[in-house]
């Protein structure tokens, strides 16, 4: 049930790919804490860790988009905002219910499926844009 980073998720921008891999590691830490039946407190700690990482990762991507005058910035940022709202909802469910099965299923759907789809389509488009901007553009990222 772990989320796995594969080449088809590569944006071609090393720092973004590295952050995605780290993000996946943190999601897996959450899933593992759930499957080991960790208590609410431990789960809350892992979730907070993940939320902080998501927020700083999104900000970094958004900064790079602004620096490179990326034309699809608004659409991309709107997706990040949508994810943050969904994540807040999942966090709330964990706080109320602990790692109940339906909460883990919802996490799989709104966190894992969403992220994979976002990276494949939206982040990869940005990666391609940066690479088309030449080595200077990609390097800045
Ligand atoms: Fe993104």
The residue segments making up the domain with residue 104 are 11-140
Q: List pLDDT tens digits, range 20-30.
A: 999 999 999 99
- Domain assignment of residue 6, yes or no: no
pLDDT at 117: 97
CA of 123 to the centre of ligand 1 (A): 5
- CATH number of domain containing 125: 1.20.120.50
**DSSP, residue by residue, 10-74:** --S-HHHHHHHHHHHHHHHHHHHHHHTT--HHHHHHHHHHHHHHHHHHHHHHHHHHHHTT-TTHH
CA of 138 to the centre of ligand 1 (A): 16
CA of 126 to the centre of ligand 1 (A): 8
- Domain assignment of residue 3, yes or no: no
CA of 38 to the centre of ligand 1 (A): 30
Q: List pLDDT tens digits, range 63-122.
A: 999 999 999 999 999 999 999 999 999 999 999 999 999 999 999 999 999 999 999 999
pLDDT band of residue 1 (cuts 50, 70, 90) is low
CA of 39 to the centre of ligand 1 (A): 31
The total number of structural domains that make up the chain:
1
Output the pTM of the full model.
0.90
- Mean pLDDT computed over every residue of the chain: 92
pLDDT at 141: 47
């Amino acid at each position: 049930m772990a989320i796995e980073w594969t080449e088809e998720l590569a944006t071609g921008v090393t720092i973004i790919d590295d952050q995605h891999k780290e993000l996946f590691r943190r999601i897996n830490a959450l899933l593992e804490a759930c499957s080991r039946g960790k208590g609410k407190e431990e789960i809350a700690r892992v979730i907070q860790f993940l939320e902080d990482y998501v927020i700083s990762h999104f900000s970094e991507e958004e900064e790079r988009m602004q620096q490179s005058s990326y034309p699809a910035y608004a659409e991309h940022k709107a997706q990040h905002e949508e994810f943050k709202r969904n994540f807040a909802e999942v966090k709330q469910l964990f706080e109320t219910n602990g790692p109940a099965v339906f909460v883990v299923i919802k996490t799989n759907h709104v966190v894992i499926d969403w992220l994979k789809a976002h990276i494949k389509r939206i982040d990869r488009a940005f990666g391609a844009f940066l690479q088309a901007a030449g080595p200077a553009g990609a390097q800045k990222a």
